[in-house]
A and B are shown apart, each in its own frame.
Chain A
Amino acid sequence: MSDRTIQDRIIFHDALGVMEVDWSDWTFTTEAEVNEFYDEIDRKAVATGKRWYFLVNYVGCVISPAIWPRFAERGKYANITYGLGTVRIGASAATRDAIRQRAKGEMFRANIFESRDQAMLALGEMRKRREVLGGIPSGDTAEVYLRVEDIHLNFGGVKALTGVGFEVNRGEVSSIIGPNGAGKSSMLNVISGFYRPSRGRIIFEGRDRTHLPTHAVARLGFARTFQNIALFKGMTTLDNIMTGRSWKMKGNVLTDALYWGYAQKEEIKHREHVERIIDFLEIEAIRKTQVGRLPYGLQKRVELARALAMEPKVLLLDEPMAGMNVEEKEDMVRFILDVNEQWGTTIVLIEHDMGVVMDISNYVVVLDHGAMIAEGTPDEIRADPVVIRAYLGQG
């Protein structure tokens, strides 16, 4: 035991809204010790009357396995009562595994980082997201936003997905990575409602949405782009993006046949919205061009525009940067980040470019041969030997 008291180890950073709990070099051997520490944390936190982000320092911390359940339980209570999200630093291998196990079972994020700086950075992002989304907490205490549970998918004998499950938090950028044929696109297709999983569930905003038809899923707030561009080749850019407004447009065939009056007003109203997206993605010049004539990179951007026109809650992007040169990629990344930061859109991304994935993702899921082999923050994934082996073969 160090010479610092429990009091010293609970630090409030008011300006940042962060409560730092310093368990470095601390040892927990009995339940009484756990309770003592947590009682103090509870007392102090409740006294402030506010909710806090937790920054927990595990460097050199030892927790004996017997009291782990109690430890976790108290932690959970703390999160639910006065927490906004937790980041953890420097857990030992054993602790890390224990936390991860727990995280899986109880559906919260482990959020384990190597250094304090990284942890603080993540916290900062969490806070920004919360501001954009208007006060909805993210992280440990979030309501389940999008959960994929034990998905199995078969194509007449071919097992495309076996037991894949993960959670997507609101307002985050999550990436699905994996070697070719791992089942990434299939996973996205299951989420979109194209494929019905043979087993498993999709939970969105707390409700089971597994068996909805594709267009109903779209109307719930899901938009997506495709690997091989699914634009309407016979229409102009403008018309393509306008189709994204379809589910919001009011009127019927009779008002349309009349046009002047109701239909025209609707057209103009939605046209204005679409023009804003066109400005945002900088594609004004090709507004009236038939999309079939556009170069590949621009077509991808138009597809993104169409998805954005739907004002989606969740944006599913299937290799949005495939086939692009460096500048185009940078533009695309910028757009994606803008969408995420300005509008708080939750993003699920399939991407092969590791640089991009590590840079912009909050969470990464790794698939291989239809199964999930790892999940975690980019740092955790980067260091995970299982992932390295899957991508690079042995060694």
Chain B
Amino acid sequence: MTFFFEVLIGGLLAGVMYSLVALGFVLIYKASGVFNFAQGAMVFFAALTFVSIVERGVNFWLAIAITLAAMVVLAFAIERVVLRFLVNQPQITLFMATIGLAYFIEGLAQGLWGAQVHAIELGIQDVPFKLAGINISQFDLFASGTAAVLVAVLALFFSYTRTGRALRAVADDHQAALSIGIPLERIWVIVWAVAGFVALVAGLLWGARTGVQFALTFTALKALPVLILGGFESIPGAIVGGLIIGATEKLAEVYIGSSLGLNIGTGIENWFPYALAMVFLLIRPEGLFGEKRIERV
């Protein structure tokens, strides 16, 4: 039984990491209606930039500041070069454009900083401690804490600030937002910059956990099932979705793998989240926290 709980809790905490990446998606989707496939690439870019600066001897906090600035510049560039030209295109075109953007950012990151794997030191020992007889990773706990703080801040931001309200208006209808005087371009830069910040946090945590390498870009793909479960526009949904995906993924990996008699269980976690997402799509397409859409003729 202990083993089950260990797997479960390990999965939940891993899920928190997914949630972090999913958060970035939700932000951008909430505010601009764009599904940003390049979020994973942004995580990678942020982590790689940070680690490369630190390795050149820059102080930790200064490096964070510089990387953040870089993300803001990136946000500006994206708004100016990509979004501006694609304002009224259908959602699917924007999605494909972000796929192109992802490739672009990946190439840029590696082109600037090289393709080696780096490790990030955050000063937290990855030593497990025992709680009620179950092994819990200290690092995972720290990550969850960070994510919780981040989510709280973002949720407050969206609900209670003027900018947050403007962001929600823009997500609903670009034209309408324009007509009441919301500066679309500025809003988008803000959103992508915030998403960049979230990407940085995620990048640091993921990087510390698994090393900064190209595979980091694939975290974007894992976020998709998270969003389908949680709803594309919901911040709490991203968290809950992440937790569910993380937990079920690990449980499936361990339990389904062994029941199928496969000695190497690895790999189920690659597709299981998608299968789960598909089931959700058929039963409850708007996700747990999303809003139902009625199509009128």
Contacts and interface: CB of A to CB of B under 8 A. Distances in A.
A226 B294 contact: no
A353 B297 CA distance: 22
A194 B294 CA distance: 13
A156 B297 contact: no
A189 interface: yes
Contact of B294 (A155, A185, A189): A155
Nearest to A156: B294
Interface in B90-138: none
A189 B295 CA distance: 13
Interface residues of A, number: 6
A185 B294 CA distance: 16
Contacts of A189: 297
Interface string B281-297: 00000000000001001
Contacts of B297: 185, 189, 194, 226
Interface in B247-297: 294, 297
A34 B294 CA distance: 58
Interface in A60-113: none
Nearest to A227: B297
Interface in A302-339: none
A64 to B, nearest CB: 51
A121 B23 CA distance: 71
A78 B273 CA distance: 72
Nearest to A189: B297
Contacts of B294: 155-156
A168 to B, nearest CB: 21
A169 B297 CA distance: 27
A226 B297 CA distance: 9
Interface in A171-199: 185, 189, 194
Nearest to A194: B297
B293 to A, nearest CB: 12
A194 B297 CA distance: 8
Nearest to A230: B297
B160 to A, nearest CB: 30
6 contacts: A155-B294, A156-B294, A185-B297, A189-B297, A194-B297, A226-B297
Interface of A: 155-156, 185, 189, 194, 226
Query: What 6 A-B pairs are tightest by C-beta distance, nearest first?
Result: A194-B297, A189-B297, A155-B294, A226-B297, A156-B294, A185-B297
